[in-house]
Structure 1
Amino acid sequence: MTEQASDAAQPQFSLQRIYVRDLSFEAPKSPEIFRQDWKPGITLDLNTRQKDLGGDFHEVVLTVSVTVKNGDDTAFIAEVQQAGIFLIKGLDNASMSHTLGAFCPSLLFPYAREALDNLVVRGSFPALMLSPVNFDALYAQELARMQGGEAQA
């Protein structure tokens, strides 16, 4: 009986499914943009959201948006919402928040990066080759920002 009780208390994490929730690509200056010297400026935006699906299941959606400008012209805008369903149980609130806010997005990012590269190459642009992202650091920054905002309120 104690073995079953200790098993139930053990934290559990399991990736159930990874999927693309939404994908978009726009190249508003095509084909003219292909005739210009290529000196791109890249803007990258990341966002995550979580949804409780009930029964210890959680959906995490990582949105990666990239805007590439060549001079003043927008070469392309690409966005992917890479999602995953995770079974997570036995975690305290702080650990659950960190898992959903940093660990799960870090698992989703390589899939999002690949989807964006594929999309951009199909648009006849060079692959983005986005650098890895430290979601633990981003999570810590957001936590500090939120706590700073509460302290000022």
Structure 2
Amino acid sequence: MSDTPEVQQPPAAMTVLAQFIRDFSFENPRAPNSLRVEARPEVDLGVEMSAKGRSDGLFEVDLKLSVKAATSDGPMFAVELVYGGLFQLGNIPEELVEPTLLVECPRYLFPFARRIVADASSDGGFSPPFFIDPIDFGTLYMQQKAGQLGQPAAGQA
């Protein structure tokens, strides 16, 4: 038994300091004809995550969602959204900083970004609104890492 008291490390923490729309675009090029289409559209969804450190020790994380919906008659709508957050990390081991920034932070931002896309499609006249299915950011991160190692994978879904 040691006479030295055991020093406990504070728990790991991720604090969201701000959330914001960095860039946003909605296009409905065939309105109002695109609103009367009965066919189920084919949807192309792109997802990208990025993070960068700042000189003040905080991190900016961006979640980019690209949604393009089209039928055989042509495009219905397109949404481009870059939704960002400002995060503070505390007591996170160095090897877990990157996965925290590219998995946990986007996981936190996603429901808010998903709602913006749904509201835009609804406000654009589409009923029901378009809701993006849940995204497995852990798998996307692993694919992105595999791509960086020269294997065929990308940070998109």
Per the normalisation by structure 2, the TM-score is 0.83
Structure-to-structure mapping, 1:43-58, within 5 angstroms: 43-58=44-59
- Paired with 2:56 and 2:11, the residues of 1 have a C-alpha distance of 16
* Equivalent residue in structure 1 for 2:130, among 128, 131, 142: 128
How far does residue 39 in structure 1 lie from its aligned partner after superposition?
2.1
Q: Secondary structure at the match of 2:54?
A: strand
Matched residue, 2:142:
140
Contact 2:16 / 2:88 at 8 angstroms: preserved in 1?
Answer: yes
- Paired with 1:86 and 1:118, the residues of 2 have a C-alpha distance of 25
What root-mean-square deviation, in Å, do the aligned CA atoms of Structure 1 and Structure 2 show?
2.1
Contact 2:117 / 2:131 at 8 angstroms: preserved in 1?
Answer: no
- Paired with 1:13 and 1:37, the residues of 2 have a C-alpha distance of 45
Structure 2 regions of 5+ residues with no counterpart? 152-157
Q: Greater shift after overlay, 19-28 or 140-149?
A: 140-149
How far does residue 38 in structure 1 lie from its aligned partner after superposition?
3.1
Matched residue, 2:24:
23
Contact 1:52 / 1:59 at 8 angstroms: preserved in 2?
Answer: yes
Q: Secondary structure at the match of 1:144?
A: helix
Which amino acid in 1 is paired with 2:54?
A: L
Structure 1 regions of 5+ residues with no counterpart? none
- Paired with 2:40 and 2:53, the residues of 1 have a C-alpha distance of 43
Alpha-carbon displacement from aligned partner over 1:37-64 (angstroms, at most 9, x marks no partner) = 2321111000111121223200101011
Structure-to-structure mapping, 1:57-72, within 5 angstroms: 57-72=58-73
Q: Which structure 1 residue ranges, 4+ long, deviate > 6 Å from structure 2?
A: none
Question: Is 1:89 aligned to residue 90 of structure 2?
Answer: yes
Per the normalisation by structure 1, the TM-score is 0.85
Which amino acid in 2 is paired with 1:99?
A: T
Aligned length: 146
Contact 1:56 / 1:89 at 8 angstroms: preserved in 2?
Answer: no
Greater per-residue helix proportion: 1
